[in-house]
Amino acid sequence: MTNPTSQTTRIWTSLLTVSQDLTDSIEAELKTHGLPKLSWYDALLEIEKAGADGIRPYELKERLLLPQYGTSRLLDRIAKAGLITRQDVENDGRGQIIRLTPKGRDTRKVMWPIYAAMLVRSIEHRLSNSEAVALGRLLSKLAKPRS
């Protein structure tokens, strides 16, 4: 077994800390405006991208990178808030199609300017353009290729 270097451990800790700090800041700003959590935005956006045909929960799970139970709970809360509809799929006893309601579309649209402003404040205002390009390049080397 090979142990990571202290530098690797520091990088890992920094990645996790920065990610959590940025997420917490965005979550706090959304809460200040009486809006749902960031995970709701991500789900609403992916459902909206699916268009009028909607999306199956298992497809959404893959796009959100959540476990199945996490996606199910998230969809339950979003449905209870009236932001999505669920329609059973014929000939598939457990299958559903998820679609946005007008309220869901409106909620996502209201969330975006707050989310966008926090990204600008948290990243663009702190990094020069060349630093941002370099960071993006470095992070892409660590990212798992998506299909």
Per residue in 17-51, pLDDT tens? 999 999 999 999 999 999 999 999 999 999 999 99
**Residue 147's pLDDT is what?**
58
Which one, of 88, 84, 104, lies nearest residue 96 by Cα? 88
What does pTM read for this prediction? 0.85
Alpha helices (H) along 81-126: 102-119
**Residue 110's pLDDT is what?**
97
**Residue 146's pLDDT is what?**
65
Per residue in 46-88, pLDDT tens? 999 999 999 999 899 888 877 777 888 999 999 999 999 999 8
**Residue 19's pLDDT is what?**
93
- State percent of the chain over pLDDT 70: 97
**Residue 123's pLDDT is what?**
95
Which one, of 20, 28, 64, 65, lies nearest residue 44 by Cα? 64
Is residue 145 pLDDT above 80, yes or no?
A: no
Is residue 2 pLDDT above 80, yes or no?
A: yes
Is residue 118 pLDDT above 90, yes or no?
A: yes
Residue 99 backbone zone (phi > 0: left; psi -120 to 50: alpha; other: beta): beta
**Residue 95's pLDDT is what?**
83
- State percent of the chain over pLDDT 90: 82
Question: What domains can be seen in the chain, in order of their start residue?
Answer: 19-142 (1.10.10.10)
Backbone angles phi, psi at 88, to 5 degrees: -65, 145
